[in-house]
Amino acid sequence: MAFPAFLCLLLSAVAGQAAAPPGLRDRVQKLITDSGAEVAVAFRTLDGRYELLIDPDRSIHAASTMKVPVMIELFRQADAGLLSLDEALRVRNEFHSIVDGSPYRLDAGDDSDAEVYKAIGGTMTLRQLCDAMITTSSNLAANLLIERLGVDRIRGTVHALGADGMQVLRGVEDGKAFDQGLNNTTTVRGLLVLFEKLAHGPVVSAKADADMLAMLARQTFNDAIPAGVPPGTRVAHKTGTITRIHHDAGIVYGDRPYVLVVLVRGVDEQKQSAALIAGISREVWSAAR
């Protein structure tokens, strides 16, 4: 026997379980079907009342969303006294493949931020590198931080936070690793866990968490989740894009704050994938009341 949507919602509330707002799943699924793309979605209000999970454990190339656990590990090590955010790090453009240790370099033309490249031969603080990694999604900054922090420690922190759907293996643009399928991957569930932890805190400490959320809120790429909510709404989020991949994940601070994660694979034009994510974001905003 099928129950009406409102009754399912009521029964879930009585049982203490989150449920999708009436009609939201159908509206989001239509957007996905019409797009022809592979899309995974995770949405949950911070009060636990509503949630929507579509293909939550599908593993997809993480693109730049993997920079979120790098940031968390940086602040964790600073809080533990293993380093200082004011530590100056030499900026260079040479890294080593996880396949055979052979050197490779990043191309400034393929990066989203050219500013860090101007500092090659000089230094930047770890805080400055983290800010560039998050707000303008600098790949060079990310690789420098991953090498300084240690990828094993980053993975360990992801595991400790219960976000095992996120797998960080390496820095960006390791071509030999890419050719062998050794990529950073994520699920929407993994990112949902990370952002929920940041929202509820503490992941590191009250101050560190506030600093991380402030960085995420300053991100300069706002054509996806933020484009689906009213102007001026605070969104602490991280995007990720590579060829035919477009993701956005973050906390939306509406009247009923929530985490939304959308992973998209299979759309050639970034404007189209951004519009798809914005459309899903718009439906979620309308439902999260």
173-182 pLDDT, tens digit per residue, is 999 999 999 9
The residue that leads in pLDDT, 281 or 114, is: 281
For residue 5, pLDDT beyond 50:
no
The reply to whether 159 and 220 lie within a common domain is: no
Q: Is residue 38 part of a domain?
A: yes
Among 158, 182, 206, the domain-final residue is 182
Confidence at residue 123, expressed as pLDDT on a 0 to 100 scale: 98
Task: Give the pLDDT mean for 238-258.
Answer: 97
Residue 67 CA to residue 63 CA, distance in Å, equals 9
Residue 218 CA to residue 195 CA, distance in Å, equals 16
Among 182, 201, 227, the domain-final residue is 182
Q: Is residue 228 part of a domain?
A: yes
For residue 187, pLDDT beyond 90:
yes
For residue 153, pLDDT beyond 70:
yes
- pLDDT per residue over 87-106, tens digit each? 999 999 999 999 999 999 99
Question: Which 3-state string (H, E, C) describes 48-94?
Answer: CCEEEEECCCCCEECHHHHHHHHHHHHHHHHHCCCCCCCCEEECCCC
Residue 273 CA to residue 28 CA, distance in Å, equals 14
The reply to whether 167 and 274 lie within a common domain is: no
The reply to whether 89 and 160 lie within a common domain is: yes
Residue 279 CA to residue 227 CA, distance in Å, equals 8
Q: Is residue 153 part of a domain?
A: yes
For residue 17, pLDDT beyond 80:
no
The reply to whether 77 and 23 lie within a common domain is: no
Grade residue 4 by pLDDT with cuts at 50, 70 and 90.
very low
Q: For residue 151, give the CATH number of its domain.
A: 3.40.710.10
Confidence at residue 1, expressed as pLDDT on a 0 to 100 scale: 38
Expressed as residue numbers, the domain containing 35 is 18-58+187-289
Task: Give the pLDDT mean for 47-58.
Answer: 98
For residue 38, pLDDT beyond 70:
yes
Confidence at residue 289, expressed as pLDDT on a 0 to 100 scale: 80
The reply to whether 165 and 206 lie within a common domain is: no
Task: Give the pLDDT mean for 228-233.
Answer: 98
Q: Is residue 1 part of a domain?
A: no
Grade residue 129 by pLDDT with cuts at 50, 70 and 90.
very high
For residue 6, pLDDT beyond 80:
no
Q: Is residue 9 part of a domain?
A: no
Q: Is residue 3 part of a domain?
A: no
For residue 163, pLDDT beyond 50:
yes
Residue 236 CA to residue 252 CA, distance in Å, equals 7
Grade residue 280 by pLDDT with cuts at 50, 70 and 90.
very high
Number of domains in the chain: 2
For residue 270, pLDDT beyond 80:
yes
Helices 139-149 and 126-135: angle between axes, nearest 10 degrees:
130
Structure token pair of residue 199 = 């929202």
